[in-house]
Amino acid sequence: MSNKTVCITTAEAIVRFLIAQRTVVEGVNVPLFPGAYGIFGHGNVTSLGHSLESHRDELPVWRGQNEQGMGLAAAAFAKATRRQQIMVCTSSIGPGATNMVTAAGVAMSNRLPVLFIAGDTFVSRLPDPVLQQVEHFGTPSITVNDAFQPVVRYWDRITHPAQILSSLPQAVATMLDPGDCGPAFIGLPQDVAADAFDYPESFFQTIVHERPRPRPDRGQLARAVDVLRAAKRPAIIAGGGVHYSLAEAELAAFAEKHGIPVVETVAGKSSLLSDHPNYAGPVGVTGADAANQVVSKADVVLAVGTRLEDFTTGSWTLFAPETQFIGVNAARFDALKHRSLPVVADARETLTEMSAALGDWSTDASWTEHSAKWRGELTKFVTDRTADDSVWPPSYAQLVGLVHESATPDDYVLTAAGGLPGELNINWMSKGIATFDCEYGYSCMGYEISGAWGAAMARPTGQVYSMVGDGSYLMLNSDIYASILSGHKMILVVCDNEGYAVIERLQVSQGGASYNNMLADSTGTGSSARVNFAAHAASMGAVTFEVHSLAEFADALVKARSSSTSAVIVTKVRAKDFTEGGAFWQVGVPEVSDRASVTAARAKMDKGLTAQRAGV
């Protein structure tokens, strides 16, 4: 190793280090950090910004419109690449930094790698208080960047140039770790960013990172195989970890060989194609009755790469008390949930070794016949829900059906929050592997548009469709403009039900009165005002269509597909026509109330909780 050094600033060293990191995707050596999203301000423009500009061909910076949107785009990019590449997000020291905290929460909740680099106040404190600094009287070392600590896997504030020699490799290792994967944060004080230091040249040597694939412990694997062999009605829950392990083919082969039905979580959707003989449908609260029947009857559940959130488990009411879980997960924390028999390892390697250990063992044909029957009922259910009933405005399901009809196996569909996750989770029958993204780990309104921008960057082929409600559109829409500026096309379907209809549904179903969710019953004198979404999107450069029939909607999809730039289709949608989910969901309903409807809702909730599985 060379002892030579180079005298450069901390900011320059960070950029050179990031450029030196490489990885292999589908046999091709590519940058681990293919680009950055940035909004420059004081704290990151004069040092980091200078260095990024001088390396613009090696680490391009895409101009964001809102720091939260940048972070959401980066999270969606990571999801679309199945965690194989990582985007950088950089901001100034104050509101720019705190705007990214929500996006960091999205990445953290969904186990996605994003590198956040925010400017910070001066380590010397000599010019304090500086512009945008929030002062803490009793703890002067705290800045707003400490707000990132609960929502990242790795957090560091660089107070001396030498610290990046250890900090940056640790941040990269964390983001690449299959068990600890999540976002990393680097706080970069303004004086330290500008300081020069003699860095060893070896720090900037190219490193080609390989995907870690921890193999299962022999003892854990053997115990899991014994339990599975004894099962009469086993089922597999496929989570997002199947995608991140690139284990879709191994999952399909395992299910076929051993005759086990597969249900999918929201994050795991499109692990199997919808026409696969072992596919049993989406599971949980936004899932289908077919899949929920499978897991409710199962005596052993092989949970592969899932964190088992409440929308997957029906708040832990979907399973019989005696059901044995086998948790296959690279994260020990997830593998152990609810007294699962853990197999802490990579999903692909575990499925391969587990299948070999099981040999020719397969479930009884009667169990797969039951699953096939339920699956047939799901197909009919989706066909009926998406059918045109000649009534306008349409249901969400009818819109989903037409987008699905126009999509190819190379296309990618994306949504988040509100009523659309339930509609797409049930009614979207996957045509391609890893072609679905519903951000439901953090359920972040606003992800739909920014996420589509990030996904469009990640996917060189096919169209990216994003279905977004009017509420999410109003929260964060500026990345329509970002997609126009950057040349990354997306097709947005804006479903306008004039309010936060799915929350109003929850509000009313749990005994409350409709209040402050729908525009019509919101507080104020302007509740009759409405947004012209088509005109708004057109003002940002998008090709827009406002449709008034399903025939017009289908025609708009064809035209949007042929457009060379981002297209926005605006349609009204029914506010009270939702596809019913198939599972109980626990929410906080008042234990006492003067309202009879609330008391009745609480009684119903308490009854549902009698089926809740005890555990941790």
- In this structure, are 299 and 437 located in the same domain? no
Q: Is residue 426 part of a domain?
A: yes
Q: Is residue 606 part of a domain?
A: no
Mean pLDDT, the chain, as a whole number? Answer: 97
- In this structure, are 176 and 222 located in the same domain? no
- Is 0.85 topped by the overall pTM? yes
- In this structure, are 187 and 49 located in the same domain? yes
- In this structure, are 187 and 53 located in the same domain? yes
Q: What is the pLDDT of residue 616?
A: 59
Q: Is residue 578 part of a domain?
A: no
Q: Is residue 372 part of a domain?
A: yes
- Per the structure, the count of domains in the chain is 3
- In this structure, are 373 and 237 located in the same domain? yes
- As a whole number, mean pLDDT of residues 90-106 equals 98
Q: What is the pLDDT of residue 3?
A: 84
What is the C-alpha separation between 588 and 478, in angstroms, rounded? 34
| pLDDT of residue 582 exceeding 90 | no
Token digits of residue 426: 């049930």
Domain that holds residue 453: 387-572
pLDDT in tens, 253-307: 999 999 999 999 999 999 999 999 999 999 999 999 999 999 999 999 999 999 9
Query: Any idea which residue has 């096939």 for tokens?
Result: 372
- Read off the amino acid at residue 165: L
- As a whole number, mean pLDDT of residues 175-190 equals 98
Judged by phi (left if over 0) then psi (alpha if -120 to 50, else beta), residue 412 lies in: beta
End-to-end CA distance of the chain: 49
With a pLDDT cut of 90, the percent of the chain lying above it is 96
- In this structure, are 148 and 228 located in the same domain? no
- In this structure, are 161 and 283 located in the same domain? no
- As a whole number, mean pLDDT of residues 156-179 equals 98
pLDDT in tens, 337-361: 989 999 999 999 999 999 999 999 9
- In this structure, are 341 and 414 located in the same domain? no
The CATH number of residue 356's host domain is 3.40.50.1220
38-to-53, 66, 176, 353 alpha-carbon distances in Å:
11, 9, 22, 44
Residue 156 backbone dihedrals phi, psi, to 5 degrees:
-155, 145
Q: What is the pLDDT of residue 2?
A: 66
pLDDT in tens, 137-151: 999 999 999 999 999
Q: Is residue 446 part of a domain?
A: yes
What is the C-alpha separation between 519 and 500, in angstroms, rounded? 8
What is the C-alpha separation between 374 and 261, in angstroms, rounded? 11
CB 328 within 8 A of CB 346: no
> 581: pLDDT confidence band, cut at 50, 70 and 90?
confident
pLDDT in tens, 204-252: 999 999 999 999 999 999 999 999 999 999 999 999 999 999 999 999 9
- In this structure, are 199 and 272 located in the same domain? no
Q: What is the pLDDT of residue 1?
A: 57
- In this structure, are 222 and 204 located in the same domain? no
CB 436 within 8 A of CB 400: no
Q: What is the pLDDT of residue 612?
A: 95
The CATH number of residue 14's host domain is 3.40.50.970
The H or E element that residue 272 is part of is none
Among the candidates 147, 174, 209, a domain finishes at 209
Cβ-based neighbour number of residue 6 at 10 Å = 14
3-state secondary structure of 396: helix
pLDDT in tens, 372-414: 899 899 999 999 999 999 999 999 999 999 999 999 999 999 9
What is the C-alpha separation between 570 and 480, in angstroms, rounded? 14
What is the C-alpha separation between 560 and 558, in angstroms, rounded? 6
Among the candidates 209, 237, 253, a domain finishes at 209
pLDDT in tens, 410-441: 999 999 999 999 999 999 999 999 999 999 99
Among the candidates 342, 377, 412, a domain finishes at 377
Q: Is residue 420 part of a domain?
A: yes
Query: Any idea which residue has 């950090």 for tokens?
Result: 33
Q: Is residue 382 part of a domain?
A: no
- In this structure, are 226 and 183 located in the same domain? no
- In this structure, are 242 and 269 located in the same domain? yes
Q: Is residue 103 part of a domain?
A: yes
